[in-house]
Every structure is written in C-alpha cells, then in structure tokens.
Amino acid sequence: MDYSPYQSVSKVRIFDTTLRDGEQTPGVSLTADNKVEIAKSLDRLGVDVIEAGFPVVSEGEYDAVKRINKLGLSSQITALSRVDKADIDKLIDCDISYGHLFIATSDLHLQYKLKISREKALESEIAGIEYAKAHGIKVEFSAEDATRTERDFLVKAFREAERVGAERINVPDTVGTSTPERFAELIRYLKSQIRIPISVHCHDDYGLAVANSLAGVNAGADQAHVTINGLGERAGNASLEEFVMAASRLYSIECRIKTKLLYETSRTVSKLTRVLLQPNKAIVGENAFGHESGIHTHGVLNMPATYEPMEPELVGASRRIQAGKHAGTHGVYSQLKSLGFNLTSDELKKVVQKVKEIGDQGKPVTDSDLDRLAREISGLAKRDSYFKITDLAIITGINTVPTASVRLAFGNNDSTTTAQTGVGPVDAVLKAISQVTDRYAKVTLREYRIEAVSGGTDAEAEVLVKVEDDRGNVCSASAAGQDIVMASVYAMMSGINETMLRRSRQDGNQEIVRPAQTIAAMTS
C-alpha cells in the first residue's frame, strides 16, 4: 500500500549515533567489546555512518573507537570531538578520517555553559576545523543548540565552517524544542545560504524527533542522525527504525538500511545497553504487531492490512496474537492452532470464556495458561516437558555469593548438573537453568515481574516471565507459590518449555500434543 504524498526527495543517508549520543542515555555504559558487537550489527544493517564514540571521555571509549575504526566495516566511521585541540588529537590518534566537530552557538549555551562570547566561539570553531583539516580529517560541523541560536549568527557559524573546508554541516535540535514546520523552514533557509550538504540531528523531548527529522529531510537535508531504539540523552534521539520505515513507506524516501534486520538489531542493542523497550514502541516494540481485541484479530486474520500498516516480516518481526479479556474466538482459535490444538467449537467457546474470566481478574493470559486451559477443557493429557528440574540447591546469605546448583533432565535420558552464581538467588538459579537449556536453544529472559497475591511474610507470590528465543519466538508463562525463588524457577521452566514446543512445531514436529487416551494406552 502506498501512503506517500511526497515525491521530491528520494534518498537519505543514515548517520547512526547509537554508540555516541545513544550511549549518553543516563545509566548506559558499554564496554569496548559491546561497542564492537553493536558496530558490526549496524554495519550489517547498512547504516552509512557509525559515530563510534567520543574518544576524549575515557580510555575505554578511546580504545573502542580505535578498534571499531580498524574493523574494516563498510559503514564510514566517525567520532565526536569538541573544536578543542586536545579532543581533535584523540581523533588523530584513533586514525579517524571523518570527524564530527561541534561547539554550542546559542546565547544560552555560550553565556551559561561555555561562558564565552559569540566571537570567541567562532574563533574556536574556525581554529578547530582548520586543525582537523590540516591533519587530513574531513569534518562534519555541528552547531550545538542550533534551533535556539539567533538565525544570523547560526548562518555565520555555518558559513565559516564551509569557508574553512568543512565537508558537511549538522543542525541539532539539541533539546527537541523545534516543530516540523519550524524545522523545515530553518533547513530550507540554511539550504539557501550554504552549499555543503546538511544533516539533521533531532532529540525527542516533545516526542517530535522523528517528525522533525522527516521535515528536515523533506526540506533539503540529505542525512539524518538517528539511534537504534531512539536511545539518547533524556528522552532520546530520533529512532532509526521509526525514521527509516516512515521515510520509506510514508514519503518514498529510500536509504541503504536492510529493514529485515531492524528487529534483530534493536534486540542486540537493548540486550547490550540493558535498556528495555516499551512494549508499544513503534516498529520494534513487542506489541508493534500484537493484537488482542476480537475485532482486530478477526480483521488481521482475514486481511492483515486491516490493522497492520506494514508487514511484520518487512522489519524482521512477526505477528503476535494475545489472549485476554478483549479476545474473540478467531484470535484464540488461531493462537491454539499455532500451539497445535484442534478443538471443537464448544471447547473453543469454553476456553474463550475462561480467558475472559482471567482477564476480568486483571491478570494477563500467558501462553502456558492457554495451553493448560485447552488441555483441561478438551481432556488432553498434561504436556510432556522438554526440560524437567530434578534437583535444586541454593545457598545465599551474608558474606556468601548467592549460588545455585541445578540438575535438569532433557527428554528421557539426557541430564546435566550445573552451578552458577548471581546477584541474588533468583539470578543464580535462572542463570544455571539457562546454562543447560542454551545448549538446545538460546532463550533469553525478556521480562520478569513478581506480584504479591496476598499479604504477610507467607504471602503467595505470582511470577510472570516473558522469554524470547533466537528465532524471535516470544513466550509468556507464570507460576505462583509462597516461595518466590521456586515460583521464579517454575515460571522460567514453563516459558522455556513453551518455547521449545513452539520451535518443535516450527520444525515440523507434530508429536508433542498427545491425547490422554494415547498416553493411557502407552502406559497400560
């Protein structure tokens, strides 16, 4: 389906700053190894430029930039530097051939942060660019806080950059205060004043970063600074995945990004930065292609375009139908079918009824709940688990590193014992379980929630987990009990077993769901 009202701009370059502005997200700090791994996935994704970091900030950052620059990736590597000699020397030491140099230009920043005059700022800018150029570095010059800079002075700063040889200018909306109309007008004006190419760099403080970036590109900028998952200072930067998909699908502006790798890249960045994605995040959030309400699931199952503006596969994601209080028979039927059940319409109605009852109690309906309900209602035997926990011991206390030792049985004959330490008993035991199960399928814990169902020290707790495997299968499971460690273990085991079942079905194995009678016949 083509939604594009514009045809004027046809291409945009993607400058990814996940490893620089993205890493400036409060609380995020990546090791050099993490940064190298992310740089490689950005390169596979097809970004034009990777801003690898800000070398002057620490030794580790300097090493990471140096290593990334030496990887021989197809993406061009850049790094950030103030217009100061000491910063630029770090770029030179890292052998960076394309430097991102900046100085603030708004009176607010000059007066209260840098405490220098406009003239002094221009002097430093010129000296910095000239120094970098003299060392063979191509320069992209950013006027920090450009959108709050007095217009004539901003033009002057950019003209000077052009005059002394900068290859490109960047227009940052540093605290996200611009609007699409104002930003487009600014870019159009700069375009009429400056001959070198223009980048845009928008922050999301008012939720307008992607809209402003698109407006800037439609007004003549040919490169957008973006980050995976919209990571960045405060509310973040324009999100790469949202910008790329909106540019291509809504404005017919193309770029080199292999969109099928968006979901996977987003997960890699989320895992390494430890910043969880909000479920309703556009394009890559868990609910971006999730449906619960009966009307929506019915529509999507008949014709995906009714409630899906793009095919999930296009971004490497998959559709997810969620059972819950709003669910209808079509959605529950399709979910059960994907779990391997073929229920009669009476049985199906009963499952839907139970699903709604759980929803009315304010609880989510997990995949393992659905499996259990379908079995109870249709009289099928309890499913065989892939993994069973047969022994478990945990030590924790003061001056003791929490340690868990578990014995897991896989199928009938294979069984393994392993031990792991963790920050607490739950962490230790879940790590020990994963150490064994990872040999069969890489399943990662995506979400862990614990709720007290009743009060007191003997309260019943409910643990809800969401796990995801390396094929992108997301399974939810829960378990309740007075022992929160054991409830966590059972929830995790249930999530992993559910995932194994799904993988087995995807591999064409239909043997897992066995009617009770068959099992009775086998054991008699």
Residues lying near Zn ion in the complex (CB under 5 A) are found at 21
Pick from 69, 75, 142, 378: which binds ligand KIV (CB under 6 A)? 142
- Closest CB to ligand KIV among residues 201, 354: 201
| Bridge-based pairing state of the strands 76-82 and 49-51 | parallel
Least distance in Å: CB of 480 to ligand KIV? Answer: 47
Q: Does 239 bind ligand KIV (CB under 6 A)?
A: no
Query: Which amino acid is present at 1?
Result: M
**Quick one: 201 or 446, whose CB is closer to Zn ion?**
201
Nearest distance in Å: CB 170, ligand KIV: 6
**Interacting residue with ligand KIV among 201, 281, 330, 383 (CB under 6 A):** 201
Pick the closer one to ligand KIV by CB: 185 or 233: 233
b vs e for 211-249, b when ≥16 Cβ sit within 10 Å of the residue's Cβ? Answer: bbbbbbbbbbbbbbbbbbbbbbbeebbbbbbbbbbbbbb
CB-nearer residue toward ligand KIV: 171 or 394? 171
Do 174 and 203 touch, CB atoms closer than 8 A? yes
172 vs 312, beta carbon nearer ligand KIV: 172
Rounded distance between C-alpha atoms, residue 224 and residue 16, angstroms: 8
Give residue number: closest CB to Zn ion: 21
Which tokens is 24 given?
Answer: 């400036």
Question: Does 172 participate in binding ligand KIV (rule CB under 6 A)?
Answer: yes
Interacting partner of 144 out of ligand KIV, Zn ion, none (Cβ under 5 to 8 A depending on kind): ligand KIV
CB within 8 Å of 303: residues ≥ 6 apart: none
Contacts of 483 (CB under 8 A, 6+ apart): none
Name the minimum Å distance from CB 15 to Zn ion: 11
Residue (64 or 484) nearer to ligand KIV, CB: 64
Residues 48-107 interacting with ligand KIV (rule: CB under 6 A)? 102
392 phi and psi angles, rounded to 5 deg? -155, 130
Residue 102 binding partner per list ligand KIV, Zn ion, none, with a CB distance cut-off of 5 to 8 Å that depends on partner kind: ligand KIV
Indicate whether 371 belongs to the interface with ligand KIV (CB under 6 A). no
CA atoms of 309 and 294, how far apart (whole Å): 18
Residue nearest to ligand KIV (CB): 172
Q: Residue 254: left if φ>0, alpha if ψ -120 to 50, beta else—which one?
A: beta
Assess contact for 187 and 180: CB atoms under 8 A.
Answer: no
Binding ligand KIV (rule: CB under 6 A), the pick from 144, 367, 369, 468 is 144
Least distance (Å) from ligand KIV to the CB of residue 209? 10
Nearer to ligand KIV, 79 or 433 (CB): 79
∠99-231-280 over CA atoms, to 5°?
150
CB of 89 to ligand KIV, least distance (A): 18
Select 35 or 201, whichever has its Cβ closest to ligand KIV: 201
Q: Which is nearer to Zn ion, 168 or 383 (CB)?
A: 168
User: Which three-class secondary structure state does DSSP give residue 45?
Assistant: helix
Partner residues linked to 474 by β-bridges: 468
Which of helix, strand or coil describes residue 480? strand
Amino acid present at 15: F
Residues 6+ apart with CB under 8 A from 8: 218
Say which entry of ligand KIV, Zn ion, none residue 204 contacts (CB below 5 to 8 A, set by partner kind). Answer: none
Identify the three-state secondary structure at position 307.
coil
HEC states along 197-242? Answer: CEEEEEECCCCCHHHHHHHHHHCCCCEEEEEHHHCCCCCCECEHHH
Q: Under the criterion CB under 6 A, does residue 21 sit at the interface with ligand KIV? A: yes
Task: Rule CB under 6 A: say whether 366 interacts with ligand KIV.
Answer: no
Interacting partner of 99 out of ligand KIV, Zn ion, none (Cβ under 5 to 8 A depending on kind): none
- Cβ-based neighbour number of residue 179 at 10 Å: 15
Which stretches of the chain bind ligand KIV, using CB under 6 A?
A: 21, 102, 142, 144, 172, 174, 201, 203
